[in-house]
Structure 1
Amino acid sequence: MDSFKRPLWICILLCSGSISAGILILLKIFQIDLKNSFIVGGICFFILLLTMTVLEGFASKLFALSSGIVVPVFAIVYGFPSLFSLYREGQRQKGNNILFALITVCQVSFITVLGSLVTAGILSSTKFFLTVDRFKGIKFIMTLPILLVIILYFYSLTEGNKSSGFFKKCKTFLLHPVRLWEVIIVFIIATGGIFYLIRTGNTSVVPVSDFERNLRAFLDNFLIVRPRFKDFLLGQPALFLTVYLWRRGNLRYLWLFLAFATLGQANIVDTFAHLHTPLLVSLLRVFHGLWIGCIVGFVAVGLYNIFILFEKHFKLRGHG
């Protein structure tokens, strides 16, 4: 069997694309001027050429990891750009919120898929296709984008002096009175996060339950290619709900849903990072996760509206 390895110039071109995506994020959020963006880009490109010339294998893995981290952030920032504009709680947007959410989810996911193909392309070789070598750093890809998006989101909400405003918002957030139910929710999320990290990667110390195994078998038989649970049960519904809540002007816990939404996009990158899986299978897996996730997101919106109605009802009874 003939071995395959993408040409070096293609790898450099793909890595340059991920560098450009990172610079575009800086332009969007931090509004750095064009001169500084060219300086940053030039430095990154010089490092790219130097490392690719001296240590191509290591550099490819390093830039693939960097690309995998940048792609979900870029997809959220540019797929849903209005999220990162100065926006006050209570402001409602005109138009069909459900339709806007649906379009945005598809838009963000499409950008992520394109970026994931770039990330996978950097490492394309027979070694990765045959799992002789594997994509390293999946846990970083599944966690760092979440942290970065949350930081960028809070930063974008600050007025005036961005730096001082950002730290002021962080201080206000940290000094916010904590309720018991909030502690319980944080504990549940933290426990789920630890479990999620343990289950992430090529190997897992947590065994798959019989229920999950049966559900996987059902989805495989029904859809031919099974979507990933983190896609259609968590990531895409969270993104759908994030867009909907933003449109409704409900920003209080938006950052939390945004975190799960970013996780979903990172999961798409992870899907394409399995280079031994045929490309068509990965595309179909993401597609199924997208349309099922949108349905789950629609249901989540309905449950949210029911919750709001109950909340208003009990408030009225309390005042009555």
Structure 2
Amino acid sequence: MKKVLIGILLAALLLTIPSAFQRIQIEESNKKIETIIPYKLMTDWIVQDPALTPADILADFKNAGIQSVSLEPDTVSSLERKGLITAVSTPRMREHLLLTQQDPLEAPFDKPGLFVHSNGTFNFEEITAGFFEEKFTYTVNDEEYLYIPGEASSIQSTPIGYDSEVIASIQDAGLKVVPRLGDYSDEEQTERMIGELLTIKQPDINKVLFSGNAVPAGSDPVRLKEFGEQLKEAGYGLLSIEFAGQEGLNQLAYVNDLNLVRLHSLGLTNDNIAESAEKIVRAAKERNMRAFFVNMTIVEYEQALSALRELQTEVDRALPASFVRGDSRTFDTYSVPLWQTAMALLGAIAFLTLAAQSVFKNKWLTLAALVGSALAAILYLVTAQSMILKAFALAIAITAPIWAVLLKKEPEKKWYLLRSYAQALAISAIGIWLIVVLLNGNQYLLGIDLFRGVSLIYIVPIAFVAIYAIFGNIKKLLKLNVIYWHVVVIAVVAAVALYYMSRTGNAGQVSTIELQARLLMEQILYVRPRTKEFLIGFPLFILALHVAKSYPKAYYFLLIPGVIGFLSLVNTFTHLHIPLLISLLRSGYSIVFGFIIGLILIWLYEKFWKKMITIIRMRWQD
């Protein structure tokens, strides 16, 4: 049966080559990045320096390498900042009347509300017709105000619509408009703004960026689907803000045929220009980000423009030549044919069965792996539930590093060290290949659908190998007298474990020195290898292979930290939004550097460790 399973596995690997190759082609064909600046910054700068004009600022944006300007709907508050209206709350109006010795407010004007006066030719009443349930005209000092009862702050935040003159000015400057839209608490406001968004659609207004924690109608599945269809029909693409987790965005993306661009948002200050440039370059190279939203809190316009220019210069200097600036777009649509998915499932069945046979050496557990995985594959082919593919990918991701390090070792054979390392890497590579093929498509590339179970990958293989090592040596351990050098080994393993846990996940702690080392490696190598692989896991695995020659049982304990390299290697490829070639390059560096450092550990072990242990033993015995 073993030969049959190996044959099936090899056939699956060969026949699924087109799937992985297609993904690489899709990723490499989209290298256009877009920088977006919020228009609302301009209002603050113009207030600070009235000599500035919107046209001047937009021209400076264009010259600085900006492609697009995001535009939020006007509100009562923003209209006031623009000088188009004057808004006075009821307490302020009451105070004004008192100071000017005029008649006090009477019903209905004495309730909380907002008095709005249109400046110049602007007609607030006409523009907001139908926006408010109640409106009354109030005259003071021969000036007419529109009184709106209600909470003043709520009235001031009421969305009015997109300014057509601003849209035209942005377009005249040669920039694109990216409208922003939020999910308003008032359903009528939301519907009105959806209508506004659809009304302003033009050929060069082709993407929408949502504000807040949810997209419009995010909590209403039926209306959300209708909204998605409206966006699709109008020709709008979506922008997905990294880490924002906006409710309803994934559903919109599916309705809109995954017409979505991943966006990274960052705040620019005078002090973080170099850091911001590094983030942009890294996000473009390593996370398939194609749009970058740059916000600024710099009050002085000239300083802000200088910072923006410096940022763009730094990005252009560090960004690979294959990237160009322009209108970002989603990745070309692609999917894996069912027959290739079926072949990958056959390969996964063979992989999991062979792993169970190799690790457990028990026919019943091997049979359970075969039958269980086969039934799961059949269930997927019947139901087409992607969750089953994710379960297969998780099972492979957990199994591959365990099988890789526990593969039978033959220290007496020639080239044992290199052969064992290559075999362990081959096991991991096969598992990685199956994961890449099983979870392949735009939904994974864009981060809409994610691989689940990263925490299990970091914990289960280490726990399994630890239990395997302990139970394999349980009798010997129970009879063992704990001596000084054992304590040293335990302390070293504990230190490695603590360091490993402190670095695991997005919240992992990294020192300043390591950050600088990472940056240096990225500048030299294009992409840095993972520290857990080339500094911890792979070197200790190489050392374990060497120790196995002298201590065929004790070496299992070195496999506990050694498995970290292989689980991290597999985990690299479960980040499906990272370009495949980037993951391959990063892993290649880790494999080579880890092997070299492992050889250095062997030299240190032979040169110093053995002698130190001998001295310690002699002194302990004395």
Seen in structure 2, the aligned counterparts of structure 1 residues 192 and 28 have a Cα distance that, compared at 3 Å, is: closer
Unpaired segments of 5 or more residues in structure 1?
Answer: 84-92, 158-168
Q: Does 1:134 align with 2:450?
A: yes
- Any idea what the Cα deviations from partners look like across 1:17-76, whole Å, max 9, x if unmatched? 23322221332344344x984565234311332245336121121111111011112223
User: Quick check: which one's strand share is greater?
Assistant: 2
What residue in structure 2 maps to residue 165 of structure 1?
none
Following the alignment from structure 1 to structure 2, what is the Cα–Cα distance between the partners of residues 49 and 319? 63
Q: Does 1:299 align with 2:299?
A: no
Contact 2:454–2:571 (8 Å) recurs in 1: yes
What residue in structure 2 maps to residue 228 of structure 1?
530
Contact 2:356–2:365 (8 Å) recurs in 1: no
Following the alignment from structure 2 to structure 1, what is the Cα–Cα distance between the partners of residues 599 and 429? 22
What is the CA-CA distance between 1:260 and the residue it aligns to?
1.7
Q: Does 1:238 align with 2:554?
A: no
Unpaired segments of 5 or more residues in structure 2?
Answer: 1-329
What is the CA-CA distance between 1:308 and the residue it aligns to?
1.1
**1:50-65 residue pairs with structure 2 within 5 A?**
50-51=379-380, 53-54=382-383, 56-65=385-394
Q: Does 1:4 align with 2:342?
A: no
Q: Does 1:214 align with 2:541?
A: no
**1:141-290 residue pairs with structure 2 within 5 A?**
141-152=457-468, 169-170=473-474, 172-174=476-478, 176-179=480-483, 182=486, 185-186=489-490, 189-190=493-494, 192-201=496-505, 203-204=506-507, 206-247=508-549, 249-251=550-552, 253-290=554-591
Provide the secondary structure at the position in 2 that maps to 1:133.
Answer: coil
What is the CA-CA distance between 1:210 and the residue it aligns to?
1.4
Following the alignment from structure 1 to structure 2, what is the Cα–Cα distance between the partners of residues 58 and 209? 38
What residue in structure 2 maps to residue 107 of structure 1?
423
User: Quick check: which one's helix share is greater?
Assistant: 1
Contact 2:357–2:365 (8 Å) recurs in 1: no
Following the alignment from structure 2 to structure 1, what is the Cα–Cα distance between the partners of residues 543 and 367? 37
Seen in structure 2, the aligned counterparts of structure 1 residues 40 and 286 have a Cα distance that, compared at 3 Å, is: closer
Seen in structure 2, the aligned counterparts of structure 1 residues 303 and 39 have a Cα distance that, compared at 3 Å, is: closer
Following the alignment from structure 1 to structure 2, what is the Cα–Cα distance between the partners of residues 104 and 182? 27
Provide the secondary structure at the position in 1 that maps to 2:409.
Answer: helix
What is the CA-CA distance between 1:13 and the residue it aligns to?
2.9
Following the alignment from structure 1 to structure 2, what is the Cα–Cα distance between the partners of residues 282 and 242? 26
Normalised by the size of structure 2, how large is the TM-score? 0.42
What is the CA-CA distance between 1:187 and the residue it aligns to?
5.4
Following the alignment from structure 1 to structure 2, what is the Cα–Cα distance between the partners of residues 315 and 174? 20
Contact 1:73–1:148 (8 Å) recurs in 2: yes
Provide the secondary structure at the position in 1 that maps to 2:451.
Answer: coil
Range with bigger deviation, 41-50 or 2-11: 2-11
Following the alignment from structure 1 to structure 2, what is the Cα–Cα distance between the partners of residues 315 and 190? 22
Q: Does 1:46 align with 2:372?
A: no
* 2:501 maps to amino acid: L
Following the alignment from structure 2 to structure 1, what is the Cα–Cα distance between the partners of residues 458 and 452? 12
Provide the secondary structure at the position in 2 that maps to 1:82.
Answer: coil
What residue in structure 2 maps to residue 163 of structure 1?
none
What is the CA-CA distance between 1:171 and the residue it aligns to?
5.3
What is the CA-CA distance between 1:246 and the residue it aligns to?
0.9
Seen in structure 2, the aligned counterparts of structure 1 residues 304 and 37 have a Cα distance that, compared at 3 Å, is: closer
- Any idea what the Cα deviations from partners look like across 1:246-271, whole Å, max 9, x if unmatched? 12x22464122111221111111011
What is the CA-CA distance between 1:318 and the residue it aligns to?
8.5
Contact 1:138–1:200 (8 Å) recurs in 2: no
- Any idea what the Cα deviations from partners look like across 1:183-220, whole Å, max 9, x if unmatched? 5654564464355235323x21x443211110001111
Query: Of the two, which has the highest radius of gyration?
Result: 2
Match 2:409 to one of 69, 82, 86:
82
What residue in structure 2 maps to residue 117 of structure 1?
433
Following the alignment from structure 1 to structure 2, what is the Cα–Cα distance between the partners of residues 315 and 200? 37
Contact 1:18–1:71 (8 Å) recurs in 2: no
Following the alignment from structure 2 to structure 1, what is the Cα–Cα distance between the partners of residues 578 and 421? 25
Normalised by the size of structure 1, how large is the TM-score? 0.78
Following the alignment from structure 2 to structure 1, what is the Cα–Cα distance between the partners of residues 526 and 536? 21
Contact 2:545–2:555 (8 Å) recurs in 1: no
* 2:557 maps to amino acid: L
Q: Higher relative contact order by CA 8 Å / sep ≥ 6: 1 or 2?
A: 1
Range with bigger deviation, 6-15 or 279-288: 6-15
What is the CA-CA distance between 1:305 and the residue it aligns to?
0.9
**1:90-101 residue pairs with structure 2 within 5 A?**
94=412, 99-101=415-417
Range with bigger deviation, 288-297 or 274-283: 274-283
Contact 2:534–2:590 (8 Å) recurs in 1: yes
